[in-house]
Amino acid sequence: MHPHLRPLLVALTSSFALQNFAAAALTTPRAIHSKDTMFISNIRASPDGFERPVIAVNGHHPALLIKAKKGDEFELTVANHLTEETMLRQTSIHGIFQHKSSWADGPEGVTQCPVAQFGNSFTYKFNAGNETGTYWYHSHFETQYCDGLRGPLVIYDDNDPYRNDYDVDNEDTIITLADWYHLQAPSINTTIAPPVNATLINGKGRQPVKPDSPLAIVNVKQGKRYRFRILSLSCDPNYNFSIDGHDLTVIEADGQLTRKLVHPFHLRGHAFSVIQSAGSPNKNYIDPVRRDVVSIGDPDRKENVTIRFVTDNPGPWFFHCHIEFHLSGGLGAVFVEDQKDIKSSDRAPPPSWSELCPTFDALPTNATFVSTVATPTAPTAPTNIPF
């Protein structure tokens, strides 16, 4: 439901710049709305100065914001315009409960097959009910979202209880943090993440070969209070976020952990109560924190975590590690909740849902197995770079 605020345990190679509002405002691409079409394609881009194939949404990388208001009906059509044969298509929205629409939850192999083949599309229809706040959407096929199919989704609340605590909350105050690799996702499909080449803030970053690549800029006015919606879209690293010389008050958080998330486990379709946090001897049954992602702790210390949730949402719900490389290696399980009532409680999926698996199964073997992609070798980094 909320942005993932994670501790930084890797060297950031991107910077975040706050500029006085006197600077000219940057042009923001049109956001995607609750009833809209998302064209998924591959383009060439150089978010950190190194050019490589990336996945774009409606021609843009980083992927566009999806915005809605509380109570909106979602009708998102996802169209596969990928021409790279290693890129299948499938999208999942992180944090939405999908009550009465479990078929639209998105995880490949759990609730649907990928949207395979160029020109095919699929429409996700659901209502988020009373859910509001900051979420994100991403591919749930292998490690594909590491290639760029990941972006923010915000459901605004006109009656936000914190409305009097800030002056500005708009598309320009959404901040995404993401790891970036020069290898394409099929080449890094491993349970052990490779070294990160760069960290991207709002899709821009730097690496030693291109220390002058443009950085993300957020314009602010002195004296104004800003609500920054901060999301970690990473495949592996954890982040701490701060603004030099300023205090930040967290008004929404899905995780406020101080140690590395060895395995940050995410339960789809629910929020849960954290009865006992990793490393803590105490249990809290009175007013436990509510989350949809939690660290299970340090295995070297034999830590564990205890969660509790109500089984009030019939459907197959994925419970998995959200380090993408661990998930790709199989670190996940499916909770089939109230199986006999799934069909009767869900709104019926569209006929196109039943066509996804036959289309996927009809693909040739070389199109459905992950294969190594030849990626150009980056030039040798110069020495004595003036950071």
Each residue's pLDDT tens digit, 200-210 = 999 999 988 88
- Per-residue pLDDT band for 94 (boundaries 50, 70, 90) equals very low
Ranges 94-108, 256-270, 367-381, most confident:
256-270
pLDDT value at residue 211? 85
Whether pTM > 0.75 for this model: the answer is no
Residues 336-370: b if buried by 16+ CB within 10 A, e if exposed: ebeeeebeeebeebeeebeebeebbeeeeeeeeeb
Q: Is 59 left (phi over 0), alpha (psi -120 to 50) or beta?
A: left
Task: Tell me what the mean pLDDT of segment 53-74 comes to.
Answer: 91
- Residue 86: both structure tokens together: 């290693």
Residue 173 pLDDT greater than 90, yes or no: yes
What does the mean pLDDT of the chain come to?
75
Residue 305 pLDDT greater than 70, yes or no: yes
DSSP string, 88-108: ----EEET---TT-GGGS--B
Whole-angstrom Cα distance, residue 219 to residue 25?
7
- Per-residue pLDDT band for 8 (boundaries 50, 70, 90) equals very low
pLDDT value at residue 48? 94
Residues paired with residue 68 on neighbouring β-strands, in sequence order: 155
Residue 1 pLDDT greater than 70, yes or no: no
pLDDT value at residue 44? 93
Residue 376 pLDDT greater than 60, yes or no: no
Residue 78 pLDDT greater than 60, yes or no: yes
pLDDT value at residue 260? 43
* Terminal Cα distance for the chain, rounded: 36
Query: What class is the 31-257 domain?
Result: mainly beta
Mean pLDDT lowest for which of 143-157, 271-285, 357-371? 357-371
Mean pLDDT lowest for which of 14-18, 77-81, 85-89, 326-330? 14-18
- Per-residue pLDDT band for 175 (boundaries 50, 70, 90) equals very high
DSSP 173: G
Higher pLDDT: 99 or 46? It is: 46
Q: In angstroms, what CA-CA distances link 149 with 126, 137, 143?
A: 21, 8, 10
- Per-residue pLDDT band for 279 (boundaries 50, 70, 90) equals confident
Residues of the chain with CATH 2.60.40.420: 31-257, 263-337
Mean pLDDT lowest for which of 242-246, 260-264, 339-343? 260-264
Task: Tell me what the mean pLDDT of segment 130-141 comes to.
Answer: 83
Domain 263-337 in CATH 2.60.40.10? The answer is no
Residue 12 pLDDT greater than 50, yes or no: no
Mean pLDDT lowest for which of 28-42, 222-236, 370-384? 370-384
pLDDT value at residue 13? 30
Residue 280 pLDDT greater than 60, yes or no: yes
Whole-angstrom Cα distance, residue 81 to residue 1?
29
Task: With beta carbons less than 8 A apart as the criterion, state whether 231 and 2 touch.
Answer: no
- Residue 256: both structure tokens together: 């406020």
Count the neighbouring beta carbons within 10 Å of the beta carbon of residue 196: 22
- Selection from 239, 223, 270 nearest residue 97 by Cα: 270
Task: Tell me what the mean pLDDT of segment 160-174 comes to.
Answer: 90
- Selection from 108, 38, 116 nearest residue 79 by Cα: 38
